[in-house]
Structure 1
Amino acid sequence: MIQKLAHIGPVLAVKFYKEWCFCAQGPFIEVYEFKTGSKVGRYQIFHRNKVHGISICRNSKRVLVYGSRSVSIITIDELLSGKNLLGYEKMTAEWIVSGEFSYNGDQVYLLTIYNKVIAVDPVTCDIVRTYLLEGERSILYSGSIKVLPTKVLVNAGTIMNGIVIWDLTTQKKLWNLKGHEGAIFYVVANNSGSLLASCSDDRSIKIWDLHTGELLSTGWGHTARIWNLEFFNEDKQLISVSEDCTCRVWDLLNNEIRQKEMYETHLTKNAWCVDVENNSLIAVTGGNDGRIKLTEIRKPSFTNDITVTLEDISKSCKEFEPKKNEIIKGFHLFSFGVVLITSEGNIIQHLTAQNKWVLIEHDERFFSFSITQGINNTVFFMNNKCILKSLTFSTEGCLLNTTEIKLSDLTQTINCISVRPYDENFSLVIESANPNDPLLLLKFKERTNELLEKVVLNKPANLLTSCAEIYGDYLLVGGRFSMVFAFNLLDTTCHSLFVKLPASDAVTSIKHIEDKGGNALFSMTNRDGAYFFVSFNFKMKTVKIVHTNKVNRGFLEGSFYDENDEFIVYGFKSNLFHIYNETQQYEIFSQPCGGAHRQWKLFQPKNDNSVLCFVKNSTLNIVTIPSYQFPKTLKNGSHGREIRDISFQPGNYDSNKNSLFITGSEDTTVKLASLNVETGDIINHWSLKTHVSGLQKCKFISDNIFITCSAREELFVWELEMNFSLPYVSLRQKLIPSTNIPDLRIMDFDVIFLEGTENDFIMVSVYSDSSIKLWHYIYDQNKFTKLAEGKYETCCLLGVAFVPFKRSLKLLISTTGGFLVTMDITKNIPFTLNDGKLPNKSYTKDICKELPHWSDRVRVHEAGIKSFELKLNPTAESFMVYTGGDDNAMAITEFSNKDDDTLDIKILCKDCYAASSTITSVNLLDNGNKLLSTSVDQIIRIRDISNNELRILDSQYTTVADTGSCDIRKLEDGRHMALIGGLGLSCWQAT
């Protein structure tokens, strides 16, 4: 009846072995070839328990897998064969903390929570012996076993008694190491058994001498609890992962621990595990977000990278002698090297192949002020007196020609922007500080620098240009205050297209993405951290913002799509320059450079590594951005916190092979992703970060509109754009809170569309203080109007739905008291119901009515009704309600409309023991004949409800903890796809 297709959840263990990487996710182990990123397979090891640890015997090629009280010992060949491995699962009497093979591989040691070690035969799984430390009664939070050629050390991390080190063979205590505060979260010995690393609730890492028991060093750096540690690189380094989602590398010099590198690896909360492949020096980490992240610790070195001052240049170039206070004013990087200009007008060239500096010329007209731009093998220098000078070089760096232009159309010059090649030539956009001067576009011939065309454009008022892009016969210019203008280059008298982006700072980049159906799509970034996708139809002279989002990473300076169609942004956060994969939400590169308020340029050649150049402390730095040898991720995860709601797009996406859906999470983000209905694979598209509190509900109300709500009275209307290669999402409208400091949570909402309109609707929202509000949304005006409001009582309202009858419109509300409540709102809306539908009409918009008292109610549950599904029977003027509650019960309730528009209510069926914990969601399927439910006990159940009974047809265990949300989509072939969310996300197929 129901079958699991895929699962994303916390990754609790990772292990490298030869060319493979073994990763534990739920009761499964996923195996990847880490050099290529290809997935070998996914294998279920345990029936229910999650895998917490993996150990591999190098001698016998056996794999020890353990988690909770489950343990399995199998060969690698058996694991990769794909056969059923559940028969190998054995159970212990105590929780297993750690496990290792003996030195010769003939035994397996299992450390339990009671500080016992069970020795097991790896072939028969018989217990050979039990070791324990007499007189020691500490409960372990963590621990590890270090197998050495001559002895076995047990490193026990206790909850209240520090770290207990004991010898397995003699069963004697060696040391009781105290110095941490709180529970010991992880403890591990180095390969030689001479040092011990530990971490605890105090967020520190301590290094201990195992020969003397002495504390050698304490390392600080993580901002939250540390979960895992590993020695690597011949014990000269240590790696750690933490609740702060970072992976940090530490150097061990003379037994002193010092942080060397920090990598952002996971989302929101908890990186759980780490392992290092010592040959390649690559780390793999697993986190709460389900991501399996590879991090290359060994950084490649590049001979082209330089750090140089003007004083350094003068030592190499005898013709150049810097004056006092002379600084670098501009630079441009070419394949042959770099060309720069100083504040004294000295133009200097560096030839990389010969590693020498050459003074090209001195031009005092460029004293103090100059702007440098370059394109292809030409560099431009412009001063504030309308002089534009260009130098063209050969590919080897030889100066071919020099040209000079007097910009007579301008009274002074302040800005010069280069635009990428146009018709195999290139262009410059030049601006004056005089608001009465025009805007100039100069088109040059490639290689010769011959001026082909000069276009004089009327400059709009208040425009101060910051970026530009040429598209066909149009010039797009971005400026301060998030203004973007599009000029027609063929008709300069034609009024330009204009768009004001919903941001406040300067537009920093404009980049053409694609054309489709007469629309041209451009990506734009903003200095306040926002980015946008804007569609221009130049023929129809229309502009539409199709995507809006913001990154929490400081300033944005640019963006692009990579070869995998993943959206990459770059900019500055504090003193760091960073490149960030916005699609998959991880950092690609970061470089300390002092921040955005300095000279810098990012060069992105087509067939070579990108290069970052910046000036810091009067020093020119050229840093090559490495192209990594290994994939950045083996698996892309989902949210870093619990998923609170899921909603499928009603229509088809990508020819029915993929279904779009949204998820709302406790981490305050809304993700738009697509599900492959054949494999269950999930592809992330966007992570929307507009909410500032944890999500409560998210729903598609049509193919192109969805609504999300959360605490702080946040309710947002989003619009989906499906006319391009990828789906895009824009925030269309926000519901205005009732106070300046909102403290209420919008618990649920529902809409009913108005006939005669495409996207106008009536919406009801219910709140945590028992408030109920009715709204009218007009799509063309993009406006909410409040129609009515009122209160039920004082309890929190959990759910709401419209119930349209032929002559009346009712609300159905679920409460924390276990009641289903109805309210007749027919007279409270300015629309007349016609056969169960609401035709649109005009009305006086300044009247907000008070909602009536509730009409009918029935107590169906003993506690809150967490979820309900409604099935309307319009011909019989009745509806059925299927509920699941906090009291672990499920019920079927019938509501029938009587002649006086009151309701007759009957509880047809109730199962008080429907689950062993709270039922969190119920969903109808099979044309309303079956009901799928999820509950906190992690059991998915399908019931037959065709005869108004709750008869279980199938039940399956899900590894998604804190199971809380579900949505179902029926496919054209009759199958149902179910997505179940909580602390993770799983895909199921129901029939």
Structure 2
Amino acid sequence: MLKEYNHVGPSLAVKFYKQWCLCSQGPYVEVFDYSKGSSVNRCQIFHRNKVHGIRVDEESNKILFYGGKSVSIVKLNDIFSNSDVLSEEKVVPQWIMSGEFSHTKNRIFLLTSYNRVMIVDPLNLSITRTETLEGECSILYSGSIKVLPNQVLICAGTIMNGIIVWDLNTKKKVYTLHGHEGAIFCVVASKSGKLLASCSDDRSIKIWDLESGNLLSTAWGHTARIWNLQFYNEDKQLISVSEDCTCRVWNYKNAELTMKDIFEVSLTKNVWSVDVEEAGLVAVTGGNDGRLKLIELESRSRHYENMEFSLQTISEVCEGFQYEKGETVKGFHWFDFGLVLITSHGNILQYLKFTKDWNTLDSDDRYASFSITQGNGNTVFFINNKCLLRSYAFDKSGSVLQRLEFELEDISKTVNCLAAFNNGFFYLIIESPNHKDPLVTLKFEENSCTLTEKYILKKPQNMISSCAEVFDNHLLIGARFSLGYVFDLSSVTKSCIVIKTQATDVITSVDYVETSKDGDVLFSMTNRDGTFFFFTIDFDRSDYRIIHTNRISKGFLEGSFYDSDEDFLVYGFKSNLFHIYNESQQCEIFSEPYGGAHRQWKLFGSYGKDMVLCFVMNSGLKVVNIQKSEYPRVLKEGTHGREIRDTSFQKCPNSIDEKKLFITGSEDTTVKLSTVDSNSGVFRNFWTLKAHVSGLQRCKFINDTFFVTCGAREELFLWELSNEFSNPYVNLKQKLTPSMDNPDLRIMDFDVLFLMGDTWNFIMATVYSDSSVKLWSYSYKDNKFSLVIDGKYETCCIWNVALVPLDNCLKLLIAPTDGHFIVWDITDLIPYQVRRGQLFEAGFENGTKQLPGWSNKFQVHAAGVKSFAVSTDIASNSFKVYSGGDDNAISITNFSSNSAEIMEVELLSSDLFAASSTVTSVNLIDSNTKLLTTSADQIIRIWDITHNKLNVLESKYTTIADTGCSDIIPLEDGKGYLILVGGQGLSYWQS
């Protein structure tokens, strides 16, 4: 029996109630304890309609839900404990725009799209009467009801006639408010009933006086349409969400609306819903991607105090330090006790944060003009350009425990000094501008100035270092020109390993990540051009392997780390902002304005604990505390912000892991690598791959190691998956070469056939939107695609392709938009042999051949063949095709081979009314005895196909709009299947 376990789609309504947050997705409402981020229950409210609104009556602990023409009143306890409350659903005659409890709670008001108000008995949801505004017949795009002690105001946002405000009790118009252009997308009254906020197609927000009808203020800021507004904080502030994926906070003071904060909350397009919990000043938003995001509205001022220091003000309170004109901060390091900095005149100063005192540690003009500062634990180091090194060790209160100074004689000059920490030791890596000088590495005890060892390393030619990491006895250096170097500290004469990446700028960080059970060591690396890598090193063989490559959406990348939740975070600059970004969940964690061409900054601490950002600004220093959020930042992870075009499970028949890996490809040009928990149905995103520049068409796992994605602009990418570490990693292995410099064709589908006993080398058929058909051979050793067959069918688009191996031949099957199946025998055109349905190396010359005329053409559907699945029978030298078409039909077609190239074709069964719209996906299950189909009418069906007949066994409705793709894998016990259904959202089912 089909059962839906999880649904992630557009969230149209969110509501706080005490410590809980109620969030709608489709016909479901999920209840979260938002302070813990835990899901309490998921309850189905309506049979099919989406939940558009939630209203809570705190006195009776009842909740009003509405959406479409459906309405329900449910006890709060039922939402917490029941899987559904479908028995409470009632259907009304008109589309509901808004709903509210009356002031006395004995009635419910429902505003409809015809600007009518249905007055409903809350006990049985019967309509007692309907009130209208005489003389008005406007169709509404939005609306709200404001219930006051002595008045009920109806605020109606029309499509073409502005905003109509009318009194429900008197049925008289109060105001018609004009000023917006286009449809009114949201109109909402303040809690006091004195103000009205509205937004429309013109991207503006307007504040109106409900006592006079006057326009008080107009504000701009959103870059796309605004969907929702809400007053909070005693009507002094307003929050808005928009198509531009942002949530913005506005201050309303002295009849002027001004923007206060901007938060990026969803992906790609549209944030639909928002609510504010005023006691804790936290907001929740729901977007088109299904993400439920929490925002601390006042976190910057409530949790910590930022500090700004100028050298001039420091000199006024710091004994022994006299500020001189032109003096600037040259270096600094943050400790638990406070700050130590050095100036351009060689003054070394200390700030104690608990007493807020400044002290002068030293003043030495030998460190004037040029100095580099590094630190670790309770130790700080300063080095000048003449190789003079000074260090201080402090206790927990900031008192100096040890002071050391010595001069390096191994190099002539200092141009850079890097720092790294490993196994209780601190390392300084010192570089000279003279390419003949060695690279000097100093090893210190942790929290001490005591030098324990010095390494003199031969510096590679043209190496200009930028960052460093130490692992065991190996030193890793990131450098300019996107190069990395690995030195063996136990054998300083040994040649270093050179790591080459495909980035274009300087390596900004290199960090140890983890060691696998097999002893493989994983490192991460970031590049300023926005690219980041994960790579493994085989120190014994002096070799490396890049296992993951990706890039951030925009900006310059400076570093990365995993947080305590195993999410991968990156940080850097975009425009004039420093920001920290959760790459796993695709959401911003923190941002701080900081511009300028030559930024001097450092980030201290680790995420999950307090972090501190220090940066030089206007010749002074600013210290920004980044404290861990009181609340989880995301209640529920979303998917893509646009339609999901394809999805595919990793086929792991031997896997017993309850978390199943899968990929999704979307119109937003990205591919997501995620897992689904087979027990709970919870999705977890790992990576959002951004290599494509066009919308995706297909994505498929071709075995446990590789998957392929394709789309417009003739893009087809081969990806290699690595599973040996705690998280999966993906590397773009190879791209298919397009046929022209400016490709405009879409690769519609592909199919792959591996060589016998080989999981690395394969042939691949691709079909195109201009009717082209191509066959490629892939060599893993050479990492190269070679074109084997090139040709064309006719002029129509080809939707599907399959390589069908039979006893001693290989058939190529395509399904274009003309409703036909076309078959070629390509056995003699490929450099391989076919025996018993398997592909073998033949040693033939590999060249490109032209596709000959087809051997079979057979019409099955009256319109295009949208999807198919193929089953082969080697013994009878035949195969069957189970197809779904644009004509709403499902068919079973048998192809049997005789001694000639031409096959015998027979239509075994066809249901012309299998669906009420296009059949979008077809999957064979239960040893090819059943068929699972999805269709654009949002119905999932399971068919019995034994005896080559089509009989519906089960059908279920899904609220995934634009239902377009599905994939299945069997459960470990063999007693069912896991099913993913994608479209405008993603749902997880079991059968």
Give the TM-score band, short-chain normalised.
Answer: over 0.9
Structure 1 partner of 2:332: 331
Structure 2 partner of 1:208: 208
Structure 2 partner of 1:426: 426
Deviates more, 1:974-983 or 1:751-760: 751-760
Question: In 2, distance between residues paired with 1:494 and 1:317?
Answer: 50
Q: How big is the shift at 1:916?
A: 0.6
Q: How big is the shift at 1:595?
A: 5.4
Corresponding residue SS for 1:833: strand
Structure 2 partner of 1:566: 567
Structure 2 partner of 1:955: 955
Q: 1:80 to 1:329 in 2, by over 3 A?
A: same
Structure 2 partner of 1:889: 889
Question: In 2, distance between residues paired with 1:189 and 1:607?
Answer: 40
Q: How big is the shift at 1:739?
A: 1.1
Indicate whether 1:68 and 2:101 are aligned: no
Q: How big is the shift at 1:83?
A: 6.2
Computed over aligned residues only, the root mean square deviation of the Cα atoms, in angstroms, reads: 1.4
Q: How big is the shift at 1:376?
A: 1.5
Corresponding residue SS for 1:522: strand
Q: 1:740 to 1:403 in 2, by over 3 A?
A: same
Question: In 2, distance between residues paired with 1:972 and 1:394?
Answer: 57
Q: 1:768 to 1:272 in 2, by over 3 A?
A: same
Q: How big is the shift at 1:596?
A: 7.1
Q: Is the 8 A contact 1:931 1:945 kept in 2?
A: yes
Structure 2 partner of 1:820: 821
Q: How big is the shift at 1:304?
A: 5.8
Question: In 2, distance between residues paired with 1:433 and 1:224?
Answer: 51
Give the AA of the match of 2:349.
Answer: I
Q: Deviations over 1:920-943 (max 9, x none)?
A: 001110110111110010011111
Question: In 2, distance between residues paired with 1:70 and 1:361?
Answer: 75
Q: How big is the shift at 1:801?
A: 0.4
Percent identity over the alignment?
Answer: 55
Corresponding residue SS for 1:80: helix
Q: Is the 8 A contact 2:420 2:426 kept in 1?
A: yes
Q: 1:853 to 1:972 in 2, by over 3 A?
A: same
Give the AA of the match of 2:919.
Answer: I
Q: Deviations over 1:387-406 (max 9, x none)?
A: 11112222212223321121
Structure 2 partner of 1:356: 357
Question: In 2, distance between residues paired with 1:174 and 1:78?
Answer: 40
Structure 1 partner of 2:376: 375
Question: In 1, distance between residues paired with 2:505 and 2:937?
Answer: 49
Q: How big is the shift at 1:408?
A: 0.8
Q: How big is the shift at 1:606?
A: 8.3
Q: How big is the shift at 1:559?
A: 1.2
Q: Is the 8 A contact 1:373 1:381 kept in 2?
A: yes
Q: 1:302 to 1:905 in 2, by over 3 A?
A: closer
Q: Is the 8 A contact 1:523 1:534 kept in 2?
A: yes
Q: Is the 8 A contact 1:698 1:709 kept in 2?
A: yes
Q: How big is the shift at 1:58?
A: 2.3
Question: In 1, distance between residues paired with 2:815 and 2:883?
Answer: 9
Deviates more, 1:388-397 or 1:172-181: 388-397
Deviates more, 1:400-409 or 1:736-745: 400-409
Q: How big is the shift at 1:841?
A: 4.1
Question: In 1, distance between residues paired with 2:270 and 2:598?
Answer: 33
Structure 2 partner of 1:117: 117
Q: Deviations over 1:5-52 (max 9, x none)?
A: 211111110011111111111111111111111211011111111100
Corresponding residue SS for 2:763: strand
Structure 1 partner of 2:603: 602
Question: In 2, distance between residues paired with 1:690 and 1:608?
Answer: 33
Indicate whether 1:5 and 2:1 are aligned: no
Q: Is the 8 A contact 1:227 1:272 kept in 2?
A: yes
Q: Is the 8 A contact 2:41 2:81 kept in 1?
A: no
Corresponding residue SS for 2:834: coil
Question: In 2, distance between residues paired with 1:906 and 1:862?
Answer: 16
Structure 1 partner of 2:498: 498
Question: In 1, distance between residues paired with 2:5 and 2:903?
Answer: 43
Q: Is the 8 A contact 1:923 1:967 kept in 2?
A: yes
Q: Is the 8 A contact 2:304 2:627 kept in 1?
A: no
Structure 2 partner of 1:33: 33
Corresponding residue SS for 1:839: strand
Q: Is the 8 A contact 1:572 1:596 kept in 2?
A: no
Deviates more, 1:296-305 or 1:334-343: 296-305
Structure 2 partner of 1:106: 106
Q: Is the 8 A contact 1:55 1:65 kept in 2?
A: yes
Give the AA of the match of 2:981.
Answer: I
Q: Deviations over 1:646-680 (max 9, x none)?
A: 11111158623122111111111111111222222
Structure 1 partner of 2:657: 656
- Which structure 1 residue ranges, 4+ long, deviate > 6 Å from structure 2? none
Structure 2 partner of 1:967: 967
Give the AA of the match of 1:593.
Answer: Y
Q: How big is the shift at 1:694?
A: 0.8
Q: Is the 8 A contact 2:108 2:121 kept in 1?
A: yes
Question: In 2, distance between residues paired with 1:842 and 1:455?
Answer: 53
Q: 1:180 to 1:827 in 2, by over 3 A?
A: same
Q: Deviations over 1:850-893 (max 9, x none)?
A: 11112211111111111000111111111110111111111111
Structure 1 partner of 2:854: 854
Q: How big is the shift at 1:124?
A: 2.0
Q: How big is the shift at 1:699?
A: 0.7
Structure 2 partner of 1:462: 462
Q: Deviations over 1:918-972 (max 9, x none)?
A: 1100111011011111001001111111111111111000010000000011123
Q: Is the 8 A contact 1:305 1:623 kept in 2?
A: yes
Indicate whether 1:805 and 2:806 are aligned: yes
Question: In 2, distance between residues paired with 1:781 and 1:699?
Answer: 23
Question: In 2, distance between residues paired with 1:314 and 1:193?
Answer: 54
Indicate whether 1:621 and 2:622 are aligned: yes
Q: Deviations over 1:142-174 (max 9, x none)?
A: 000000111010000000000000001001001
Indicate whether 1:937 and 2:933 are aligned: no
Corresponding residue SS for 1:481: helix
Matches within 5 A, 1:555-594: 555-594=556-595
Question: In 2, distance between residues paired with 1:950 and 1:607?
Answer: 56
Question: In 2, distance between residues paired with 1:4 and 1:351?
Answer: 58
Question: In 2, distance between residues paired with 1:4 and 1:21?
Answer: 22
Question: In 1, distance between residues paired with 2:373 and 2:458?
Answer: 24
Q: How big is the shift at 1:586?
A: 0.7
Deviates more, 1:49-58 or 1:299-308: 299-308
Q: Is the 8 A contact 2:44 2:83 kept in 1?
A: no
Corresponding residue SS for 1:11: coil
Q: Deviations over 1:540-572 (max 9, x none)?
A: 333111111111131111111111111111111
Deviates more, 1:319-328 or 1:792-801: 319-328
Corresponding residue SS for 1:103: coil
Q: How big is the shift at 1:724?
A: 1.1
Question: In 1, distance between residues paired with 2:181 and 2:355?
Answer: 58
Structure 1 partner of 2:341: 340
Corresponding residue SS for 2:12: strand
Q: Deviations over 1:53-90 (max 9, x none)?
A: 01111222211100000000122123323164111111
Give the AA of the match of 1:928.
Answer: N
Corresponding residue SS for 2:946: coil
Give the AA of the match of 1:506.
Answer: V
Deviates more, 1:636-645 or 1:754-763: 754-763
Q: 1:606 to 1:660 in 2, by over 3 A?
A: closer
Q: How big is the shift at 1:697?
A: 0.3
Q: Deviations over 1:704-748 (max 9, x none)?
A: 100000101110000010111111111101111111111110000
Matches within 5 A, 1:877-916: 877-916=877-916
Q: 1:181 to 1:102 in 2, by over 3 A?
A: same
Corresponding residue SS for 2:899: coil
Deviates more, 1:855-864 or 1:917-926: 855-864
Structure 2 partner of 1:292: 292
Q: Deviations over 1:191-232 (max 9, x none)?
A: 111100001111111111111111111111111111100000
Question: In 1, distance between residues paired with 2:182 and 2:623?
Answer: 46
Structure 2 partner of 1:700: 701
Question: In 1, distance between residues paired with 2:304 and 2:217?
Answer: 36
Q: Is the 8 A contact 1:575 1:596 kept in 2?
A: no
Corresponding residue SS for 2:839: coil
Corresponding residue SS for 1:284: strand
Any unmatched runs of 5+ in structure 2? none
Structure 2 partner of 1:987: 988
Corresponding residue SS for 1:838: strand
Q: Is the 8 A contact 1:594 1:616 kept in 2?
A: no
Corresponding residue SS for 1:453: strand
Question: In 1, distance between residues paired with 2:129 and 2:310?
Answer: 69
Q: 1:652 to 1:297 in 2, by over 3 A?
A: farther
